[in-house]
Homo-oligomer: A and B are copies of this chain.
């Protein structure tokens, strides 16, 4: 593939000067247009070392309004980043609506370096490419325009350039960590060894919604013109499509109906036995035992550098807060976080809906407990019409992929659905209303949600059926009795950790 590219392409100085000015103006105009239309754009630059990426990128960004883009050089992850799932630090950098995110090296270089280079494993690389494909498809479906460039030069040309760089004593900015003894950037130097790896990566990740463009970069002027004119062409085409068919700018979700979890076994929640209870004495005893065990297990999680994500969902007043309280009561606050999830703010709304959940993801050794979560997409947002049918329908698959990526990185994912009946909810609402110390817990919204009880039950059924996976199962908790509910949660977490951390 790369070997068949004609690298003799070049452009004369006169021709370059003749074209560049008008191309720059058109690029600037298109950027402002994309901004008005709120189209997020991702540009990925990859290429051989000394292929001129920095210079080409600078030529590309100079005509842009600096308000309109963010530039990210993706070198070695710092400690905190390295302790998160591989894609985490790229997910956090996706562009807000209307902006261009320019990646100078990206998940591709990092996948090759961290998966193939360090682990020497083609299998690890392929698994990582699969995650990358999820990532890019999810963004593209959400309306993000993705364009990827690979700057290609010949091995001979690279050798010449290395000489010049050494002569001019230009530092290698991609590896600025002090005291690093190389190894990290083999990929950059060992052309012959990495050529087949690069070709494989390009082939496995080239899609209509996120295509690769090979840029012949032996001649810098040619490369600059090719990059700018390609971006112009693609962005212009995308803008035309978007403005011609408003509302249709996103790729249609393909296979909602083929989900293997669909309609598997009728209503799950109806079968739940809500009469289960636990006497106070037993509760007290079990609680103490479980909490002691959990205190030790959290340290084992830390020692093994695993991490834990726990999701709590359920009807209002189902007891999520109380369950979480008992879960963390004896834990070390340095190792856990409780993140309550409410309505997104404006900046969150201007990103992909999963973006805001990245910030709180636990690093290796830690745990995060979500009081409500990304399932809001297929619960409140679905029911209240806060997103389109297309959006929530494709969310099941996206959520499964999101959780798959989490578990691939060694995160344990547990999801609790707290189920109560309508009478119990009413009782608890009334008691909150009556107690001055608890009144703040009850809002008019809670009463409105109560009116839509059946909608919530339907949505919950679909969630349980479509997103209970082997790697991230749902556990339905019978929560009419608070003692029973708390102990079930405590026990499930402790047992899961014991199983996962058993060496």
Contacts and interface: CB of A to CB of B under 8 A. Distances in A.
Interface of A: 25, 29, 32, 54-55, 57-58, 61-62, 65-67, 71, 73, 78-81, 104, 169-171, 173-174, 176-177, 299, 302-303, 324-325, 328-335, 337-340, 342, 345-347, 365, 371, 437, 440
A176 B365 contact: yes
Given A78-B80, A345-B346, A334 B173 contact: yes
Contacts of A25: 437
Nearest to A177: B79
B332 A58 contact: yes
Contacts of A324: 66
B437 A29 contact: yes
A331 B71 CA distance: 14
Contacts of A325: 62
Contacts of A345: 346-347
Given A29-B437, A62-B329, A334-B54, A173 B347 contact: no
B171 A303 contact: yes
A109 to B, nearest CB: 13
Contacts of A67: 340, 342
Nearest to A63: B325
Q: How many copies does the complex hold?
A: 2
B347 A62 contact: no
A96 to B, nearest CB: 11
11 contacts: A29-B437, A54-B332, A57-B333, A58-B330, A58-B333, A66-B324, A71-B333, A73-B334, A170-B299, A176-B365, A345-B346
Given A333-B57, A333-B104, A299 B171 contact: yes
Contacts of A104: 333-334
Contact of A173 (B29, B65, B335): B335
A32 B66 contact: no
A454 to B, nearest CB: 29
A404 to B, nearest CB: 26
A71 B337 CA distance: 8
- Counting chain B CB atoms within 10 Å of each CB, the highest count among A170, A176, A345 belongs to A176
Contacts of A347: 345, 347
A384 to B, nearest CB: 20
Nearest to A28: B437
Contacts of A328: 58, 62
Contacts of A174: 334
Contacts of A302: 171, 173, 176
Contacts of A331: 58
> Closest 9 interchain pairs by CB?
A78-B79, A66-B338, A78-B78, A173-B334, A78-B80, A67-B340, A58-B333, A54-B332, A73-B334
Contacts of A330: 58
Nearest to A324: B66
Nearest to A75: B334
Given A54-B333, A57-B333, A71-B337, 11 more contacts: A29-B437, A54-B332, A58-B331, A58-B333, A62-B325, A78-B78, A104-B334, A169-B299, A176-B302, A345-B347, A346-B346
Contacts of A78: 78-81
A131 B124 CA distance: 47
A424 B7 CA distance: 49
Nearest to A440: B32
A361 to B, nearest CB: 15
A70 B335 CA distance: 14
A333 B57 CA distance: 7
A79 B371 CA distance: 32
A17 to B, nearest CB: 15
A79 to B, nearest CB: 4
A66 B371 contact: yes
A232 to B, nearest CB: 15
Contacts of A32: 440
Nearest to A71: B333
Contacts of A329: 58, 62
A146 to B, nearest CB: 20
- Counting chain B CB atoms within 10 Å of each CB, the highest count among A331, A334, A340 belongs to A334
Contact of A79 (B29, B79, B342): B79
A346 to B, nearest CB: 6
A472 to B, nearest CB: 22
A65 B328 CA distance: 13
Contacts of A169: 299
Nearest to A441: B65
Contacts of A365: 176
Nearest to A68: B340
A440 B335 CA distance: 50
Nearest to A61: B333
